[in-house]
């Protein structure tokens, strides 16, 4: 991963933020914080929140260098390739290693989280459930 030297101040106030259906899940809406543009696509920081009844995401993994999630409100249930299940609730921090197979199986109607990824255009790859 290359190293970006940031030369501009990024300050996005909540009143100036916009949520939209711009991310990978149809049952979430996303707020782009502007970090991707500022870092030439090296990083993305976005807030995601539930908008509808959650569907399971299906088993998948991400091609990335970093996926970090901090839960702001509510909870999300996840399953991992090693058989581990976690309910990740408000205040929890989660970093899923690149390539780790996982599945989101449910979330609260008030779920909201900050996700930081590198690169900004992280790829999601559907896959079969683990054996």
Q: For a pLDDT cut of 90, what percent of the chain falls above it? A: 66
**Of 27-31, 50-54, 75-79, 99-103, the least confident:** 50-54
Q: Cis omega (within 30 of 0) on the bond before 47?
A: no
Q: What is the mean pLDDT of residues 10-21?
A: 76
**For the sheet containing 28-32, what is the strand order?**
28-32, 44-50, 112-118, 66-73, 93-95
Cα Rg of the chain, angstroms: 15
- Please list the alpha-helical segments (H only) found in 20-104: 35-38
The whole-angstrom separation of Cα 104 and Cα 54 is 9
Band (15; pLDDT cuts 50, 70, 90): confident
Q: For a pLDDT cut of 70, what percent of the chain falls above it? A: 86
For residues 106 and 76, the answer to whether their CB atoms sit within 8 Å is yes
> Does residue 2 carry a pLDDT above 60?
no
Beta carbons within 8 Å of 48's beta carbon, 6+ residues apart: 23, 25, 28, 29, 30, 31, 112, 113, 115
DSSP 3-state assignment of 32?
strand
Q: 73-89, pLDDT tens digit by residue?
A: 999 999 999 999 999 99
Band (11; pLDDT cuts 50, 70, 90): confident
Both tokens assigned to 3: 């190293």
Band (27; pLDDT cuts 50, 70, 90): low
The whole-angstrom separation of Cα 89 and Cα 115 is 14
Longest dimension (CA), the chain: 47
Please name each of the domains of the chain with its CATH number. Answer: 22-126 (2.60.120.10)
């Amino acid at each position: 991963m290359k190293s970006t030297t940031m030369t501009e101040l990024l300050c996005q106030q909540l009143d100036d933020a916009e949520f939209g259906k711009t991310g990978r899940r149809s049952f979430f809406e996303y707020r782009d914080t502007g970090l991707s543009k500022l870092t030439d696509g090296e990083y993305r920081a976005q807030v995601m929140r539930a908008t509808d009844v959650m569907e399971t995401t299906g088993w998948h993994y991400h091609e990335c260098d970093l996926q970090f999630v901090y839960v702001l409100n509510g909870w999300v249930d996840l399953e991992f390739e090693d058989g581990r299940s976690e309910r990740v609730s408000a205040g929890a921090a989660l970093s899923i290693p690149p390539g780790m197979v996982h599945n989101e199986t449910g979330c609260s109607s008030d779920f909201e989280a900050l996700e930081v990824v590198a690169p900004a255009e992280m790829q999601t790859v559907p896959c079969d459930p683990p054996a």
